[in-house]
Amino acid sequence: MNGYLRTAVLMAAMTALFLGVGALLGGAGGAMIALVVALAMNAFTWWNSDRLVLRMHDARPASGPEGRALTQMVHEMADAAGMPRPAVYILDNDQPNAFATGRNPANAAVAATTGLLRSLSREEIAAVMAHELAHIRNHDTTIMTITATFAGAISMLANFALFFGGNRNNGLGLIGTLALMILAPLAAALVQMAISRSREYEADRVGAEICGNPLWLASALQKISGLAARIDNESAERNPATAHMFIVNPLHAHAHDRLFSTHPNPENRIRALREMAGQGARRGPWA
């Protein structure tokens, strides 16, 4: 199953979960109230996502020789991929990492840490930034905002049921209702994380096409996943809700795939990229 189809299936599952939980816990009225509130909250975040996230991580516009070289590289790849040029930022952070943000390709930004720029070769840096461009081109920020809206609405329904008694005619009984109040937000979080992980694989694939060489990204992931596990990222630790945006988990998560991990195992991603290279992946125009 390709990344787009997998994401569609997972989003359908999230929608079905919301509708089912809404009918059982809050009824039609409660479900709509929770959805509207969650939508309003996430719409504000989505509209201001680029400024909010960049401010959280003390990002500065790329400048100086290092910043100009990074900006030129990113803009050349964006031009070759036929997409708008994003703003380019640098984070003064020793952990090698990078992320993309913005509500759509026309209002997007990419950011790389100084640790990434020091630790990787030019080709590896290009591959990492191509991965972030892929997130922008794939509208992953929008996808994650939609899933966050549904997850937030499901959590609100559980809170409504806790404080206001919920839908007393749901046929589950007290124990069933309590179990649903606990399990529904958990299930929503699992689906949300599964979508995030699926988007990482898809961004790896598209990013490899943009930079023109899957092995560049495989090499970059191997380097930065090892270094990131040993070097603290203080801004990410202060803002763990943004961890899913980075190319590798900045929070020193377990090395293996786990239910609650927002990132796939780096070894699995590297294996997929090497298989892509072995299949004669199309070289992009930038390489």
Residue 257 is predicted with a pLDDT of 46
Q: Which residue has the higher pLDDT, 91 or 183?
A: 91
Q: Which residue has the higher pLDDT, 4 or 153?
A: 153
CA distance 129 to 112: 8
Q: Where are the alpha helices (DSSP H) in 102-245?
A: 114-119, 122-137, 140-164, 173-211, 214-228, 234-238
CB neighbourhood size of 174 (10 A)? 8
CA distance 157 to 165: 11
pTM above 0.85, yes or no: no
Q: Are strands 107-113 and 98-104 parallel, antiparallel or unpaired?
A: antiparallel
Residue type for 251, please? L
Tell me the residue length of the chain: 287
Residue 89, SS3 per DSSP: strand
> What confidence tens digit (pLDDT) does each residue in 100-118 have?
988 889 989 999 999 999 9
Residue 204 is predicted with a pLDDT of 96
> What confidence tens digit (pLDDT) does each residue in 42-72 have?
677 667 767 878 888 999 999 999 999 999 9
pLDDT tier for residue 281 given thresholds of 50, 70 and 90: low
- Structural tokens at position 225: 């996943």
Catalytic position from the list 132, 200, 202, 209: 132
Q: Are strands 87-91 and 60-61 parallel, antiparallel or unpaired?
A: antiparallel
Residue 108 β-bridge partners: 102
CA distance 184 to 24: 11
CA distance 75 to 78: 5
Q: Is the pLDDT of residue 137 over 50?
A: yes
Highest mean pLDDT among 51-60, 79-88, 170-179, 251-260: 79-88
> Does residue 132 carry a catalytic annotation?
yes
- The structural domains of the chain, with segments of one domain joined by +, span 3-278
Q: What's the N-to-C CA distance of the chain in angstroms?
A: 28
Highest mean pLDDT among 26-40, 165-179, 200-214: 200-214
Q: Of 145, 38, 149, 152, nearest to 102 (Cα)?
A: 145
Highest mean pLDDT among 2-16, 118-132, 253-267: 118-132
CA distance 251 to 3: 25
